[in-house]
Structure 1
Amino acid sequence: MRVARHRTGGQDVRAVAGRRVLVDGALRPATVHIEAGRITAVTSYDAGVAAGADVLLVPDTACVLPGVVDTHVHVNEPGRTEWEGFATATRAAALGGVTTLVDMPLNSLPATTSVAALRAKQEVARDQVSVDVGFWGGAVPESLGRLEELWEAGVFGFKCFLAPSGVEEFPALDEAGLRAALAEVAAFDGLLIVHAEDADVLDAAPHPPSRAYADFLLSRPPEAETAAIDRLLDGAAATGARVHVLHLSSARALDRLAAARGDGVRVSVETCPHYLCFAAEQIPDAAPAFKCCPPIRDEGNRDALWDGLTSGVIDMVVSDHSPATAQMKCAGDGDLQQAWGGISGLQVSFAAVAQEAGRRGIGIEQVSAWMSRSTADLIGLDTKGRIEVGADADLLVHDTAAPLTVAAEHLAHRNPISAYDGMALSASVTHTLVRGRVVAGLPNGPHSSDEPVPPAGRLLERTR
C-alpha cells in the first residue's frame, strides 16, 4: 500500500530524549535540552527531564540526528514558481528532515547574479519558509568583476556552468571566463561551485531523438565530466581558489580529484542520492523522471561512488532537487533529449540514502555526517549539522517503525513527478525540529503532506 507523508506540528519543545542520539559521531542514550532555539545541554538519557507536552520522547526504534543541511536545491522563485516555490520546497524539506537548504541562483527570474536580484529573492521568500534558507550567487559572464558585491551581501558562494545551463539567462563560462572567476573569487577567499561538464565533449557526443535511456547516457559521456574537472583543477591550482565540484556522477574523476587534493588544491566534492540509489540498468526507457545532467550511470559506477564516499574523496551528499512542470518534464512524449533534466527528491533524499547505505553496511551516523555536518561545514554554518551545546536545535527523528512507500502524488513538491515514486523505504523521518520547533511530526500515524507546515524558517546570510 502506498502511504503519504506525515502530519505537521508547530510546537516548541524544551527537550528531546532518546536511546539513540547522535552525539560526537556516535549513537548513545541522551537528552537534548533546548532553550530559545539553541541546544543548551546534552545529558544522559536517565537524567531525564520533567514530563510535559513540550518534551519529545523518541521511541527506541528511532534515531535522533542533526537536521539535514541540503546545499543544492533549486527553488525557482520568483519567476518560475510553477516549477517549485519557497512554500512548497521548504514544506517538502521539513517533511524529509531537511532543516536548512541553500537555493541555487538559476531557474528563478531574475537569476541571482546581482545584489538586487538577491534582495528580490529574499523578499519573496521571507514569510513563507518552513526551514532555514540561504542563497548561492551566480558567476556568469555579466556578473564577473562584481562577485565580491554579492559575497558581501551574504551569498555563500558562486555557481557557474562550463556547459549550457538549460536556461538562456544563466550562460556558461568559457575558458577565459572560468579563469577570471577563479582569480576573482580567490582574491576575497570565496567559493566557486561548478557544474563540471565540458561543452565541447557534449557537442561531439551523439544526441539523436530517442526514448532509449542508453542513448541519453551516450549523449552525456563520462569524458564530459573528467575534461571539465581537469580544467577546473588546473585553474584552482593556478589561482589558489577554493572550488567545489557539484553533483559528481562519473567515478572516473575520483583519482584525479584525490591527486589534486593531495597536491594542495582546495577542492571539495558532492554527489547526489539519485546517483547512489539508482543505476542505468534499472531505468526504463521513456521515463523522464530519471533524467538529470550529468546522468545516472551504470551499477559499477554507482559502487565506485560509494567507495569514493567511504574513502573520503567525495565529501558530502546533496539532493540537487531540480523540479519542473509536468509539461516540461514530459516534453517530447518520452524523447529524453526533449524532456527537462532534473530530479525531484528533496523530501525523500535522506531516507533513501540511509536505506541504501544500510544495505551496504554503512551506518546512519556516516550518512548524517555526509548530509548534515559536511554540508554545513562547506558553507561555514558552524551551528548547523551537529548536536552539541550552542548549536541550533535543528533535529530529525528517523524511525524504523515507520516504513514508507513513496507516492509522488503525496509528496509536498509542487509537481508530482519523482524518480523515487514507488520506492519502498524501511524507515522514514517522523519528526523534524527547526530551532526547537516541531515543523513536522508523526504522533498518530501517516497523514497527508498537504497539511500546512508552519513558516518557522529564517533567511541565512554568510557571516564569515
Structure 2
Amino acid sequence: MSRAAGTAPTSAYAAVRARQVLVDGALRPATVTIADGRVSGVEPVDHPVVGPVLDVPAAAYLLPGVVDTHVHVNEPGRTHWEGFATATRAAHAGGVTTLVDMPLNSVPPTTTLAGLRAKQAAAAGQLAVDVAFWGGAVPGNVADLEPLHEAGVLGFKCFLSPSGVDEFPPLDAAGFEEALAEVARLGSLMVVHAEDPEVLDAAPHPPSRAYADFLLSRPDEAETRAVRRVLDGARATGARVHVLHLSSARAVDLLADARAEGVPVTVETCPHYLCLEADAIPDAAPEFKCCPPIRDRANREQLWQALVDGVVDVVVSDHSPATAEEKSRGGGDLQQAWGGVAGLEVGFTAVAAEAAARGIGVERVARWMATGTADLVGLHHKGRIAPGADADLVVLDPTATTEVRAAALAHRNPISAYDGMALAGRVTRTLVRGVADADPTHGRMLTRVDAPAVTA
C-alpha cells in the first residue's frame, strides 16, 4: 500500500529512545534508529538523532510489535461480523503490528486463488497494520493448494471436525492425509483445528444455558484423539504441522513426546485459555464460548507450565468475533450460540499481566507473541528489534491499568470475554514500520514470497 503523492505520515519517527528495550532477548537501554520503515540501528541510549524521536517513559518497555497469526477478519461476506478496517484498528490499539487472516468465515473462503484475490481486494486501503493470509484445505481442493502457495499464503488451515460454516467443511482421514502429503511436497505448513468429530458426536450436548454442560460437550478426549491423528499424519507424510488453539493440557505429554521423537510439530494456545477459567464463567454468557473450550483452573496452570517448558510454542488471539445476534442465538443456550472469543485488542496486555503476576518477564511474552509467531510463519523481518527488521514497535507501560470496556474496543461488535476486567499494564504506543498513526493506508499486504531476509 502507498500514500498519495505529496502526503506524509504525521507521526513517523526517526528513532525511539527507551531505558528498557528488548534486544536479543534481554532488556537494556537503547536508541532504536529507523530509516525507510526499518530498524537501521540499535544504538546507545544517548545516541544523537536527526529527526523526530519518541522518548519512552523510564518505567515502560519498548518491545517488538505483536505478530498475531490467528485472526478471523471475516471480510468479504461476513463483514458485519468483522472487517479489515475494524480488525486492524483493534490490532493497532492492542500492540499487534502484523496479523495473519484465517481462511474461513469469509465468503468466499480462501480455499482457491480466486478466494485469495477476493480477500486482497477487500483489504485494499483498509489496513492499519500489516496483514498476511492463510490458505484453506477442504475436501476436493488439493489441486488449489499449489496455486495458493505460489501466490504467497503462509500455510494452510484445515478442520478435523465441523467448522461451524458450511463453506469450509472438515477433512476426513483420507482427505487429511492427501492434503498433508501435498503440503509436505510444497514445503508449507498445515495448521489444524484438532478436535475429533466422533468424540464430539458421542459427548452429551443437550440444550443448556449452563457453562458446565457446554464444557461436557467438548471433552478433553476430543483434543487428545485429534492431536494423535495430527501427529500420525506428520509421521506418515513428513509434513510440518501446527496444532491450533490448544485448550486441553492433557495433550501436552503427547506433543512433548512427539517433539522429542523429531516430529515437525509446533503448538499454540490463546490468551483466554491462560487468563480465564471455567469455574468463574457465568451461565448463559456466550461471550466466553469458544471451541475448544476454556477449561478449569488446574488445566490453565498446566498450560502455563507447558509454555514455560517450551512444549507450547506461541500465544495467539484466535480472534473470532460475531454479531450480537449470532452470539445470543438460542437466548442463552450455549449449544446454539456462535463460538468464538473476540480478544485481538486486549490479548497481549492480558497475557503480559497474567505473566507478570506469575513472575514471568515480558521478555518471554514477546517471544511467545512476537518473535515466535513471526518465525512460525516465515516473517523473519517481523517480531524482533534488530537492524534490517521492520520498525514494528510497541510501548507497554506496566505501571498503568487497562480498564476493558467492550463498547470502547475497536473491533466491530461490542462483545468481549474481557469486559469489565482491569488489566495491569497498558499499550500506550504502537508503531508500524516507524509510524504511530492507525492509518488505514499504511498497512501492507504481506506474502510468503516477498518477505525479506533479516540476518541479525
With structure 2 as the length reference, what TM-score do the two structures score? 0.96
CA distance, structure 1, for counterparts of residue 182 and residue 292 of structure 2: 27
- What's the secondary structure of 2:437's corresponding residue? strand
| 2:245 maps to 1:247 | yes
1:128 aligned partner: 126
Deviation sequence 1:117-139 (CA, Å, 0-9, x none): 10111011011100000000000
CA distance, structure 2, for counterparts of residue 320 and residue 130 of structure 1: 19
- What's the secondary structure of 1:397's corresponding residue? strand
Identity of aligned residues (%): 68
Greater RCO between the two (CA within 8 Å, min separation 6)? 1
Per-residue deviation, 1:47: 2.5
Structure 1 residue runs of 5 or longer lacking an equivalent are 1-8, 441-452
CA distance, structure 2, for counterparts of residue 155 and residue 167 of structure 1: 21
CA distance, structure 1, for counterparts of residue 131 and residue 424 of structure 2: 29
Equivalent of 1:191, from 167, 176, 189?
189
2:352 aligned partner: 354
CA distance, structure 2, for counterparts of residue 93 and residue 294 of structure 1: 23
Deviation sequence 1:211-246 (CA, Å, 0-9, x none): 000000000000000000001101100110000000
Which consecutive segments of 4 or more residues in structure 1 shift more than 3 A?
A: none
1:94 aligned partner: 92
1:187-226 to 2 correspondence within 5 Å?
A: 187-226=185-224
1:383 aligned partner: 381
Matched residue pairs, number? 442
Coordinate RMSD, CA, aligned: 1.0
1:73-92 to 2 correspondence within 5 Å?
A: 73-92=71-90
2:333 aligned partner: 335
CA distance, structure 2, for counterparts of residue 115 and residue 331 of structure 1: 33
Per-residue deviation, 1:455: 3.0
Amino acid at match of 2:395: V
CA distance, structure 2, for counterparts of residue 324 and residue 144 of structure 1: 29
1:182 aligned partner: 180
Residue 10 of structure 1 contacts residue 454 of structure 1 at CA under 8 Å; is this kept in 2?
no
With structure 1 as the length reference, what TM-score do the two structures score? 0.94
2:4 aligned partner: none
Deviation sequence 1:395-429 (CA, Å, 0-9, x none): 00001243121000000010000001011012110
CA distance, structure 1, for counterparts of residue 183 and residue 425 of structure 2: 42
Per-residue deviation, 1:49: 2.8
- What's the secondary structure of 1:432's corresponding residue? strand
Deviation sequence 1:229-279 (CA, Å, 0-9, x none): 001101100110000000000000000101111111100000000000000
Deviation sequence 1:328-368 (CA, Å, 0-9, x none): 00111111001000000100010000000011110001000
- What's the secondary structure of 1:34's corresponding residue? strand
Residue 331 of structure 1 contacts residue 338 of structure 1 at CA under 8 Å; is this kept in 2?
yes
- What's the secondary structure of 1:112's corresponding residue? coil
1:445 aligned partner: none
CA distance, structure 2, for counterparts of residue 264 and residue 154 of structure 1: 27
Residue 14 of structure 2 contacts residue 49 of structure 2 at CA under 8 Å; is this kept in 1?
no
CA distance, structure 2, for counterparts of residue 22 and residue 309 of structure 1: 20
Residue 353 of structure 2 contacts residue 425 of structure 2 at CA under 8 Å; is this kept in 1?
yes
1:448 aligned partner: none
1:163 aligned partner: 161
Residue 131 of structure 1 contacts residue 455 of structure 1 at CA under 8 Å; is this kept in 2?
no
Per-residue deviation, 1:10: 4.5
| 2:443 maps to 1:457 | yes
2:147 aligned partner: 149
1:447 aligned partner: none
